[in-house]
Structure 1
């Protein structure tokens, strides 16, 4: 793939005594949504955390927009233009929504234009702007988590299961916001268990098993081939 914003080459990652990633090779195309799929426990979250630098790669390379970032600190990777939205949301419950956003805008004040785009994507955040983040619903907290990653200019977003446990109406809002991010030129690597969301959002997909990428291609090919889904993930998700 000639225009990949992110390349992961033969990456191995250990957590304590456990060897989790076994030579991951993955390319994330620029300006597209790439779904990272697979059963629980196969290494998807570890892959995102290795890319952002929370866990170091023992072997292999991570190349972001042409630069080798394998040895960079997490803060340096963030400054390079990578935003990370963890599954546990990573918000400060005792601070207001506004204060959470101010902290996320590390390079300076959150400008009005960016704030308004965030409000357009997630209207509840305008309503609860000065409310403690801990009082938000689960869906609203997830909106804030993604909004925090949008507080600065990012070229790549790593997002871990943004729709997990959310009501269908909130899932729809989340999907719409992620489409808007893509329209603004962002590239997205998205871990998602909801296959209906994956089909609706994904341009490309990569399937993991046992710490490796076992298939990669266009999302449409995976979404329309029940036999391929069953072979790769153990069950047909055609009805999902």
Structure 2
């Protein structure tokens, strides 16, 4: 097997006086989708934000594509090939969809072929290309948020709860887009509370509890074992 695209070893992160991440060990296999699962408040979002550098790890190491990025600034991590889709979307409401996309293309002008591919997986982007992003619906804003991370080919995408609060038709579009992204060879680490989506997209799963990774394995193994789900997360995917 190839080396993981991302490796966290003993990562600890504090936010103010709170000790959130407690010696997190996590491998993200290359070219696949890893679901980061667990109940609310266990440290999933903090893990993603520590990887991208919004929060600095107090201890431990983060290795991406064979390089130690533990102390790199956020822009350098992005330039190294990591895309990030935050839970709060992170779009610029006063700018147009096109302007949001231009800003997201950090290496230069937005590639026309890449733009057309994004139009194919997220058709509303073409329709609202010249509209202010703040005027989009919630689902359209989420599409734009993910499209911004996809504006350039990245090695790894960190995606935080992309389907939260969205209608089933929008979720279906999201799942299709992420499948195409994976087919291009990208690696994805994704926090997701919708277990139907997790089961449909995930190759691997890592479950967090109280700031630690408490289980790793295949997504299929977790999805097919209601007893394991109940033990790890206090719920059953069969109910989703």
- TM-score normalized with structure 1 length: 0.99
Secondary structure of the residue aligned to 2:146 is helix
Q: 1:116 and 2:113 equivalent?
A: no
Q: Secondary structure of the equivalent of 2:179?
A: helix
Q: Distance in 2 between matches of 1:239 and 1:191?
A: 19
Q: CA RMSD in A?
A: 0.7
Conserved 8 A contact 2:124-2:140:
yes
CA distance, structure 2, for counterparts of residue 100 and residue 146 of structure 1: 11
Alpha-carbon displacement from aligned partner over 1:39-72 (angstroms, at most 9, x marks no partner): 0000000000000000000000000010000010
Distance 2:91 2:235 in 1: 35
What does residue 56 of structure 1 align with? 56
Q: Which position in structure 1 is the counterpart of 2:206?
A: 206
1:227 and 2:227 matched: yes
- How far apart are 1:2 and its partner, in Å? 4.2
Mapped partners of 1:65, 1:238: distance in 2: 36
Structure 1 residue ranges, 4+ long, deviating more than 2 angstroms after superposition:
none
Gaps of 5+ in 2: none
**Which residue number in structure 2 is paired with residue 26 of structure 1?**
26
Q: Whole-Å Cα distance in 2 between the matches of residues 24 and 238 of structure 1?
A: 28
- Cα distance between partner residues in 1 of 2:186 and 2:156: 6
Q: How far 1:183 moved relative to its partner? A: 0.3
Secondary structure of 2:199's counterpart equals helix
Q: How much has 1:99 moved relative to structure 2?
A: 0.4
TM (norm. structure 2) is 0.99
2:161 is the counterpart of 1:161: yes
| Structure 1 residue aligned with 2:150 | 150
| Structure-2 separation of matches of 1:235 and 1:191 | 16
Deviations 1:168-221 (A, max 9, x none): 000000010000100011000000000010000000000000000000000000
Using the TM superposition, give the Cα deviation of residue 105 of structure 1 relative to its aligned residue in structure 2, in angstroms. 0.8
Q: Which runs of 5+ in 1 are unaligned?
A: none
In the other structure, the counterpart of 1:43 is 43
Cα deviation for residue 239 of structure 1 reads 2.9
